[in-house]
Structure 1
Amino acid sequence: MTDWDLGQLRALAAAADLGTFDAAARALHVTPSAVSQRIKALEQTAGAVLLRRDRPVRPTAAGEPLVRLARQLDTLTADATRHLTGETAVPHVTLAVNGDSLTTWVLPALAPLAGSVALRMVREDQDRSADLLRDGSVMGAVTSQAVAVQGCTVEPLGVMRYRPMATPEFADRWFAGARGDAIRPAALAVAPVVVFDAADRLQDRWLRRRRVDPARPPRHLVPASADFAAAVRLGFGWGMLPGGQADDDERAGRLVRLTDDAVDVPLHWQQWSLRTEALDAVAAALRTAAAATLRPPL
């Protein structure tokens, strides 16, 4: 078993977080030369290059597990110090959450913890959030990835169901008021669609089911969950909305469902395998809220 030097690990994580040896040195109150020497010594111990010396510096594939280890050790050290000394410092938890979950159920779930845990949330698509776990940027993630990242545990949370929604005026203009199978593929090929960003595939998946090439309709990119829903409500185009964002508008007649053909996105909770009270509290809150809000896991 390798005995990792905590000072060297901290130098590696600081350089990875801040992007330069100079910035890492200022954060650690040492010289840039000391940071460089510690990282070189760590690379000798690891037998691999751990950082790409670009601007900004970035961990290599070999460096990512050690950056994650450094962050985990700092978390455990801070947790132990609080218990031993009675410090009142609030523990922090970093987590990655997709925008729709953040808007509809995650924020209400975590609100009761706001006075006891400092939450640092990174908004990231559910298909990409596991990457932030892999490099140690976050301690937990709401993700579509069912296979646990190395050093993490995974559990299913439930299914988020998305349906194609539009304003009644939009549906009348582009689909002549048609619904379901009566909507012609030729109409879908020219009707504007709202997408979250270039990586958003929800609308594409639904269009393919309707035998429409996703590249054909004009697109409005709106990269914020609440603004995405607002763009659909304003008639920019149709878009896939989860129940939590569409139900009230549908009941009030402000939005209509184009078809009952939904796209289901299974969500999982992945977190570091280490246990801290703060991380466990976040996981428990998300687990409870998901059970009450999402559809049961597939």
Structure 2
Amino acid sequence: MQRFTLDQLETLRALVQDGTFEKAARRLHVTASAVSQRVKAMEQSCGRVLVQRTTPVCLTAAGAVVLRYARQVELLEADTERALREDGSAERSVQISLAVNADSLATWFLGALAGVADELDITFDLHREDQEHTISLLRSGAVMAAVTSDRESIQGCVTEPLGRMRYRAVATPAFVTRWLAHGLAALPEAPVVTFDRNDDLQDAFLRAHAGGPGAPPRHVIPTSHDFARAVLLGMGWGVLPEQQCLDEIADGRLVELAAAHPVDVPLYWQRWNLSSPLLDAVSTAVRVQAERTLRPLTV
């Protein structure tokens, strides 16, 4: 296999980011034909199809491997440029792509990024995904690091523990009076709020405390803030992060359904196993913020 050129790697990054040959061409200030020729040359070089010519384009498994390499090269270029400049700055801002679950994004994660973004003059491309599925974005090369519930490192990555995100099953007092007057046995029939079709926290709580998930009426509210608000408005019961419900429990606006049985979700930080000052700085900021916010992860 011949080596890919920097122009080819940049073209693949642009194509994946923009989704079509025409948009990638405008970003790169070349023709769509030139973009197509570069991708074809890459495919001929490695003997594998890298891109499915759909709208938007879709990477093949081989394409995901090359994309990760392309983004690692981009990151190393940015690190090298900063190291060679006397003031440690860069002529252009580099974008760091990360995957994070919605609850972390809504409660603690942005606090880790705010300071480091200004300090290092970097931008972030955040992919919101359930903590059990962020690993697929890391594996595909779409992101450089991810908050995940999977402690096992995938190939080419390293993992470190962040902590436990604690959740509590809650509902309004009026909801409890109407639906749960006789205890949690009635919970499988009571309306429930879920985040999306991948959200298993509520069903897991039902299995643990009410004998099974049942078939309750379900409200699907796919943003963390609005999910918590829906529970607070009495639309259903739900399992909320502590950061979104402790004050409401304390002042009586919410009632905890099983105070002795909170739900803990372990979180890990998995990132490319690559020596990069930029990625190291982001990882340190995430780890420090997690230590301030999350509960310790017991082994």
Task: Give me the whole-angstrom Cα distance separating, in 2, the residues matched to 1:32 and 1:212.
Answer: 58
Counterparts of 1:131-280 in structure 2, within 5 Å, are 131-176=136-181, 182-184=183-185, 187-259=186-258, 260-280=260-280
The answer for the alignment partner of 1:106 in structure 2 is: 109
Q: CA deviation at 1:214?
A: 2.5
Deviates more, 1:134-143 or 1:78-87: 78-87
Deviates more, 1:284-293 or 1:198-207: 284-293
Alpha carbons 1:166, 1:238 under 8 Å: kept: yes
Task: Give me the whole-angstrom Cα distance separating, in 1, the residues matched to 2:138 and 2:7.
Answer: 22
The one-letter amino acid of 1:122's match is H
Task: Give me the whole-angstrom Cα distance separating, in 2, the residues matched to 1:150 and 1:17.
Answer: 23
Task: Give me the whole-angstrom Cα distance separating, in 2, the residues matched to 1:50 and 1:153.
Answer: 26
Runs of 4+ off more than 4 Å: none
Alpha carbons 2:184, 2:210 under 8 Å: kept: no
Task: Report Cα offsets for 1:65-110 as digits up to 9, x if no partner.
Answer: 1011111111211222233245354443221111111122112233
Identity fraction in percent: 52
SS of 2:197's equivalent? Answer: coil
Q: CA deviation at 1:272?
A: 1.7
The one-letter amino acid of 1:205's match is A
Task: Give me the whole-angstrom Cα distance separating, in 1, the residues matched to 2:117 and 2:7.
Answer: 31
The answer for the alignment partner of 1:129 in structure 2 is: 134
Task: Give me the whole-angstrom Cα distance separating, in 1, the residues matched to 2:60 and 2:117.
Answer: 35
Q: CA deviation at 1:208?
A: 1.3
Task: Give me the whole-angstrom Cα distance separating, in 1, the residues matched to 2:193 and 2:116.
Answer: 34
Residue 115 of structure 1 pairs with residue 114 of structure 2 = no
TM-score, normalisation: structure 1:
0.91
The answer for the alignment partner of 2:100 in structure 1 is: 97
> Aligned pair in 2 of structure 1 residues 90, 3: CA closer, same or farther (>3 Å)?
closer
Task: Give me the whole-angstrom Cα distance separating, in 1, the residues matched to 2:164 and 2:294.
Answer: 6
Aligned residues: 292
The one-letter amino acid of 1:170's match is F
Task: Give me the whole-angstrom Cα distance separating, in 2, the residues matched to 1:203 and 1:271.
Answer: 29
**Runs of 5+ in structure 2 lacking a partner?**
none
Task: Report Cα offsets for 1:119-178 as digits up to 9, x if no partner.
Answer: 3322221111112212222221111122223222111111112121111111111111x5
Alpha carbons 1:20, 1:55 under 8 Å: kept: yes
Q: CA deviation at 1:238?
A: 0.5
Alpha carbons 1:92, 1:278 under 8 Å: kept: no
The one-letter amino acid of 1:111's match is A
The one-letter amino acid of 1:155's match is E
The one-letter amino acid of 2:112's match is A
SS of 2:118's equivalent? Answer: coil
Task: Give me the whole-angstrom Cα distance separating, in 2, the residues matched to 1:258 and 1:295.
Answer: 21
Task: Give me the whole-angstrom Cα distance separating, in 1, the residues matched to 2:175 and 2:115.
Answer: 40
Residue 81 of structure 1 pairs with residue 64 of structure 2 = no
The answer for the alignment partner of 2:16 in structure 1 is: 16
Alpha carbons 1:249, 1:255 under 8 Å: kept: yes
SS of 2:49's equivalent? Answer: coil
Q: CA deviation at 1:292?
A: 2.6
> Aligned pair in 2 of structure 1 residues 272, 2: CA closer, same or farther (>3 Å)?
farther
> Aligned pair in 2 of structure 1 residues 296, 78: CA closer, same or farther (>3 Å)?
same
Task: Give me the whole-angstrom Cα distance separating, in 1, the residues matched to 2:283 and 2:78.
Answer: 19
Counterparts of 1:286-297 in structure 2, within 5 Å, are 286-297=286-297
Task: Give me the whole-angstrom Cα distance separating, in 2, the residues matched to 1:115 and 1:6.
Answer: 28
Task: Report Cα offsets for 1:209-246 as digits up to 9, x if no partner.
Answer: 23444251101111111111111111111100111111
Alpha carbons 1:82, 1:89 under 8 Å: kept: no
The answer for the alignment partner of 2:61 in structure 1 is: 61
Task: Report Cα offsets for 1:167-207 as digits up to 9, x if no partner.
Answer: 1111111111x5xxx422xx112211000011111001111
Task: Report Cα offsets for 1:28-66 as digits up to 9, x if no partner.
Answer: 222222222221121122121111111221110111010
**Runs of 5+ in structure 1 lacking a partner?**
none
